[in-house]
Structure 1
Amino acid sequence: MLNRVRCSAAAYNADMSSSTREYMDAVEHLPQGATLVLQRLTWEDYERLVSDLTASRARLRVTYDHGRVEIMSPLNEHEGYARFIDALVRAFAEHGKLKLESFGGTTWRRHQLQQGVEGDCCYYVTNADRIIGKKAIDLESDPPPDIAVEIDITNESSSKVHIYAALKVGEIWLYDGKKARLRFYQLSGNSYCQIHESNVLPGMRPEMIERALQQSKTDGQTAALDAFRRQLG
């Protein structure tokens, strides 16, 4: 069951600086796998919050949706899955000699939409050339990622999918850590439909990653990654 801590932001909005200690204290005591929910925050509040959390080097995921903020503290298991999937995606791109730019733990946001989200891994492939060398991505002028990966251990990803759709992220890959199941979804209009092979990375199928993840639990990540590379040929 997802552990959520809810806070009204009426006083928070009145004086961000005086309340900084309060929300940072709440964040510091946020258990792994728990989510802190803040209500009625302005866009400026959200940007300051993201800046403060970045400065504190807190390992958190922040989502903003029209005044509602969710701050999630991922489990170690969550981070492990994300790092290994990233290694698999990189190996696939290298084998296919595909241009790929990887971003992990990046905040994707658009002021105009009043929405922002931080994924576990995101990739540029078709638009890789346009963002090579950029130190910061601005979705008001830069293209959105082609793929976003979300690791779901405590059902927290359900509140993010519509934000990715609004940001026009082409594919979202959802990994259910409890069921050891990966699903690919492609943007179609304003929502996502399931696909059985990536259109951004042709030849990449969910079961390939599922098998590698399962093998990593018994043989270790190095052996599983080697087997994945051999499977590619």
Structure 2
Amino acid sequence: MATQLRVTKPISQMWFAPGSLVSIPDVSWQEFETILQELGEKRSARIAYSHGTLEIMVPLPEHELPRDLISDIVKILLKWTGRRYQPFGSTTFKREGAAGVEPDACFYIEHYQQMIGRRRLEPDDPPPDLAIETDVTSKTTLGAYEAIGVPELWIYASSALKIYLLQDKHYIQSDTSPTFPDIPVTAWISQAIDRAWEVGSVQALEEFAGKLEA
């Protein structure tokens, strides 16, 4: 009769290829916190945790262009609409005992003044007003954002941008963004990313800004 040997190895000693998505079920909150500490802050892998499931994703190199471009476009739109904001990058947002997630980028808009000068999140801090994810569509990630209470989530995947709005603690997909109600965000951002692959990000952003002035 064969004897099963359980092998325990720290997550930090494992190597995940770019583009990998590893899902680990039955992870307790304490285990999740321990894994976060073990992985550290300077890492390429990103995490999402919801309903006891932990996901670890290592982005592909081509993930960087859409992430940076969409973030720059949001800044252009906020400046064009005359609003101040506080970006918070890919900070780890957590709801104690329930969920944790790291967006590609996120912005405080309504609550930007409260977040000025923050070096670390505090327990009573609100969630960001807008979060951005690229190449992520899992239920774990959506569940984490729902639990944390991010009111607006943009997900760019498969060459298309989708907008999710939080209603009654669950996301519904929307054709428009309440943050930028007069802008065809989904169409213009997808077009800008396509152009960036063709002519570079700087020219694509210039062309995007030109649409606003037209």
Instruction: Please classify the TM superposition score into its range, dividing by the shorter chain length.
Output: 0.7 to 0.9
Matched residue of 1:192: which SS?
strand
Match of 1:193 among 172, 175, 178: 172
Deviation at 1:122, TM superposition (A): 1.2
Match of 1:165 among 146, 151, 168: 146
1:96 maps onto 2:81 in alignment: yes
Alignment partner, residue 24 of structure 1:
12
Structure 1: runs of 5 or more not aligned: 1-9, 13-18
CA distance in 2, matches of 1:192, 1:209: 21
Deviation at 1:201, TM superposition (A): 3.2
Residues 37-58 of structure 1, C-alpha deviations (whole Å, 9 max, x = no match): 3343332322222122225x21
Counterparts of 1:218-229 in structure 2, within 5 Å, are 218-229=198-209
Q: Name the count of aligned residue pairs.
A: 207
**TM-score in terms of structure 1 length:** 0.81
1:45 maps onto 2:48 in alignment: no
Deviation at 1:75, TM superposition (A): 0.7
Alignment partner, residue 15 of structure 1:
none
Deviation at 1:11, TM superposition (A): 7.2
Indicate how the Cα distance of structure 1 residues 151 and 158 shifts in structure 2: closer, same or farther if over 3 A, else same: farther
Residues 61-90 of structure 1, C-alpha deviations (whole Å, 9 max, x = no match): 111224321111111111221111111111
Residues 126-179 of structure 1, C-alpha deviations (whole Å, 9 max, x = no match): 1111111111123x4111111111112xx5534211221121110111111x3x
Alignment partner, residue 215 of structure 1:
195
CA contact (8 A) 1:151 1:157 kept: no
Is 43-52 or 165-174 further displaced after alignment?
43-52
CA contact (8 A) 1:81 1:151 kept: yes
Is 194-203 or 222-231 further displaced after alignment?
194-203
CA contact (8 A) 1:103 1:123 kept: yes
CA distance in 1, matches of 2:51, 2:162: 27
**TM-score in terms of structure 2 length:** 0.88
1:62 maps onto 2:51 in alignment: no
Structure 2: runs of 5 or more not aligned: 1-5
Structure 1 runs, 4 residues or longer, greater than 6 Å off? none
Deviation at 1:231, TM superposition (A): 1.2
Counterparts of 1:169-180 in structure 2, within 5 Å, are 169-176=150-157, 178=158, 180=159
Matched residue of 2:40: which SS?
helix
Counterparts of 1:55-134 in structure 2, within 5 Å, are 55=41, 57-112=42-97, 114-134=98-118
RMSD between aligned alpha carbons?
1.9
User: Sequence identity, in percent?
Assistant: 29
Q: Which amino acid aligns with 2:24?
A: L
